[in-house]
Structure 1
Amino acid sequence: MSSEFRELLKKIGSGTHTHKNLTRQQASLALEMMLTGKATPAQIGGFMIAHRIKRPTGEELAGMLDAYSRLGNKLSIIDENKEVVVLGIPYDGRTRTAPISPITSLILSLMGVPVLMHGGRRMPTKYGLTLGEIWTNLGLNIQNTSLEQVQTSLAQKNFGFLYLPTHFPLADNFVTYREEIGKRPPIATLELIWHPYKGKNHIMAGYVHPPTEKMIREALTLTGVKKFTLIKGLEGSGDLKLEQTNIIAIDDHESEAGFKYLKLNPLHYGLKGHDYPLHSEQEYFEQLTKTIKGEMTPLTLSSIWNAGFYLWRCSVVETMEMGLSKAEELIMKGDLHNHCHSLSENLNYV
């Protein structure tokens, strides 16, 4: 048993009226001790539940990011002048709506925007469809790549994926505790904004609850992240919704608050449709493949809507309208299929 960790646990687990928040340094130490096994399983379980009940602060989240930065792999700088877009997607996957982010990432990387994604195997609480499974189905066996291959792919093809079991096993080992407690711990929020890249980052992540967005902004400010886009998207992802107005927080260094909100309604851009349900994974894979090949599918409109926004937000185009037009052109011409095939060849995938 770690006496040092016990003191940290006592601090956050004392009860509603007597608990105290951890400092950034203490939160960093706590997560490091949990990931490296210095804390016992009983202590780890107690901490995860107590921290969930207390609710993490932005400072604590920043400290946890510090621990991830120390213990996890980071890709080297590919270009001093380029921002790498880090897409933060909930690791426990999707169960209700079809993921659009793979198409978005293909379009961004095709247009010269470096994209870095990360994730792991199926995990609680949803055990939903993961990014790793989607890319594998598209021919990119991201589960078996070396860190050097990921680095080369990001530099040459503007796309990289860090797979936890392969590239950050300490974090992957922690999934066992999440399975045993059956609840989402605060580390699930940390994963949305983990940026394993040494250069300039543009964090583009999803969230569900407004308090989470505020906490994320505070953590990013403390850790020196200057460019961020936080989307109240489908199932906590960065996928914009077709059926309602999207609320998005973006950095704004000219304002006193340091950020501002965008409200984007697809109807204002002549787009009217539905967010496609995830009826079955096999059906989704079939529709995804057809969409990438340039066929009109139930995913096409949502793909255009999302890619149009991301192209504009990443300064590839000057207006949303131009982004939507470019996204439609790339999708309908089948350019994504060729790009996906190129990624597979570049990384020696089958």
Structure 2
Amino acid sequence: MASQLMSGWEEMRDILKRVAIGPAGSKNLTEEEACRAMGLCLDRHASDIQIAVFLIAQRLKRETDAENVGFLKALLERSQGTVAPCESVANLGDPYDGFNRVPHFAPLVAAVTGACGLPTVVHGCSDMPPKHGVSHRHLLEAYAGHSIDIGSGAASVERAAQRAASRGAAYVDMEDFHPKLWALTSIRREIAKRPALSTLEKLIVPIRGRSQSHVVSGWVHKGYERQITEILRLCGWSSVLLFKGREGHIDAFAHRPTTLCGYQANGPTYKKDISPADLGINLPHPPEWGAVSVQSVCELWKQVLEGQEGPAGISTALTAAAILTHAEVCASLEEGYGQALEALSSGRAKQAFEGFLAN
């Protein structure tokens, strides 16, 4: 191990001489070099200081598409993903550092899409810098009143895959599906800034379908939608759907149009808006959510799962409708929205939500 670390240390030192020079002198890595560099970080064959410098240097230099593809391939090669016993699976990837401005609803969306015939997985972690916001794991554990099925590594991932197929929805944690990436959290906490990993970890697909896997995520800043779709296309994913939502989350707006970007079956990239007004929904003003806390969001989730009407239910159903339409479970947004509302009002979504809460 000591010899590996020394060899990796020397290799990373050579890489840093190229990428950590400054705005004018830094050189880009090829895809293969980027994959190797990220592998050195994940395998801890570079020192903690080198890893921190590398992540910051790349962010200041700005990662190229080729570098991001290499980084993501290194992440995928070391993930403990699995294939669920079903044909199609959607993976919902919200920012791992959580939220603190408005509530978000990915697990509710997953319960709805699962109840409508598309097994859906939410992945995340307990806490991540730099935001250290409310995470889906925080909420699911609070909702359940106990710890959920996390901490058994690959066995937890396999059980989540079974729950997704049998119940329609499941959660899987970075701690289990990517322990090497999770082990870098302390370094990320020290560097404070958001590295490329903050974008790429959302794009790991921990649980795949036998025939098709749909990657669903979000973006905020202009241009990131192009970058993310191209990275995923180059990494071989055939179905991608991105939402331009608040804080980079996947939730559709309940009061105004939401921009989508993606591609289906390796087809051309599309970009379009979906609007609640097209479904006859016309909220007069943005929702007033109040202060965001684990308790307040759990209460909001309960109301949605009980079929109560309001902005949270509209956002959940509209997001689910967009996913169901993209995955060709439904022929139109209108059909998808109708099915989503029925899943909520009938209690089928609440039943699917139980897939998240197993011990």
Question: TM-score with structure 2 length normalisation?
Answer: 0.88
Cα 1:215–1:5 change in 2 (3 A) is same
- SS at 2:318 equivalent: helix
- Equivalent positions of 1:52-71 (< 5 A) are 52-71=59-78
Report the 3-state secondary structure (helix = DSSP H, G, I; strand = E; otherwise coil) of the residue aligned with 1:241.
coil
Query: Deviations for 1:210-247, whole angstroms, at most 9, x for unmatched residues?
Result: 22222212211211111111111121011112233211
Alignment of 1:286-305 (within 5 A): 286-305=299-318
Higher relative contact order (CA 8 A, sep 6+): 2
Match in the other structure for 2:17: 10
Give the gaps of 5 or more residues in structure 1: none
**In structure 2, what is the Cα distance between the partners aligned to 1:151 and 1:294?**
27
RMSD: 2.1
Q: Say which of 30, 40, 54 aligns to 1:23.
A: 30
Q: Distance in 1 between matches of 2:10 and 2:290?
A: 47
Matched AA of 2:319: N
Unaligned 5+ runs, structure 2 = 1-5
Contact 2:325 2:333 in 1 (8 A): yes
* Secondary structure in 1 matching 2:255: coil
**Is 1:244 matched with 2:256?**
yes
**Matched position secondary structure for 1:286:** helix
Amino acid at match of 1:293: E
Give the counterpart of 1:210 among 201, 222, 227. 222
The answer for the alignment partner of 2:3 in structure 1 is: none
| Among 194, 210, 224, the residue aligned to 1:184 | 194
2:97 equivalent to 1:85: no
Q: Map 1:1-350 onto structure 2 (within 5 A).
A: 2-79=9-86, 82-139=87-144, 141-144=148-151, 146-197=156-207, 199=210, 200-251=212-263, 258-273=268-283, 274-275=286-287, 277=289, 279-281=291-293, 282-341=295-354, 344=357, 347=358, 349=359
1:208 aligns to what SS in structure 2?
coil
How far 1:298 sits from its partner (Å)?
Answer: 4.5
Amino acid at match of 2:43: T
How far is the alpha carbon of 1:275 from its aligned partner?
4.3
State the shift of 1:301 in Å.
2.1
Q: Would the alpha carbon gap of residues 324 and 76 (structure 1) be closer, same or farther in structure 2, given more than 3 Å must change?
A: closer
Matched-pair contact (CA < 8 Å) for 1:266–1:305: yes
How big is the shift at 1:310?
Answer: 2.1
SS class of match (1:138):
helix
- Distance in 1 of aligned mates of 2:182 and 2:288: 30
> What SS does the corresponding residue of 1:132 show, helix, strand or coil?
helix
**Runs (4+) off by over 4 Å:** 252-255
1:98–1:275 contact (8 Å) kept in structure 2: no
CA distance in 2, matches of 1:40, 1:96: 36
Quote how far apart the aligned CAs of 1:270 are: 1.8
AA matched with 1:120: C
> Hey, what's the Cα distance between the residues in 1 that align with 2:160 and 2:347?
25
Q: Is the 8 A contact 1:104 1:310 kept in 2?
A: no
The aligned amino acid for 1:183 is: K
- Cα pair distance change 1:227/1:148, threshold 3 Å: closer
Aligned letter for 2:231?
Answer: A
CA contact (8 A) 2:163 2:355 kept: no
Deviations 1:43-99 (A, max 9, x none): 1111111111111122211111211122110112524xx232111110000111111
Percent sequence identity over aligned pairs:
26
Q: Residues 101 and 278 from structure 1, CA distance in 2 versus in 1: closer, same or farther, beyond 3 angstroms?
A: farther
Distance 1:261 1:111 in 2: 25
CA–CA distance in 2 between the matches of 1:197 and 1:331? 25
For 2:161 and 2:264, locate their aligned partners in 1 and report how far apart those are by CA, in whole Å.
30
User: For the Cα contact (< 8 Å) 2:81–2:177, is it kept in 1?
Assistant: no
Confirm or deny: 8 A CA contact 1:278 1:284 kept in the other structure.
no
- Residues 230 and 280 (structure 1), Cα distance of their counterparts in 2 relative to 1, 3 Å cut: closer
User: Secondary structure of 1:170's partner?
Assistant: helix
Shift of the 242–10 alpha-carbon distance from structure 1 to 2, 3 Å rule, reads farther
Structure 2 CA distance for aligned equivalents of residues 312 and 265 of structure 1: 14
Q: Distance in 1 between matches of 2:233 and 2:131?
A: 30
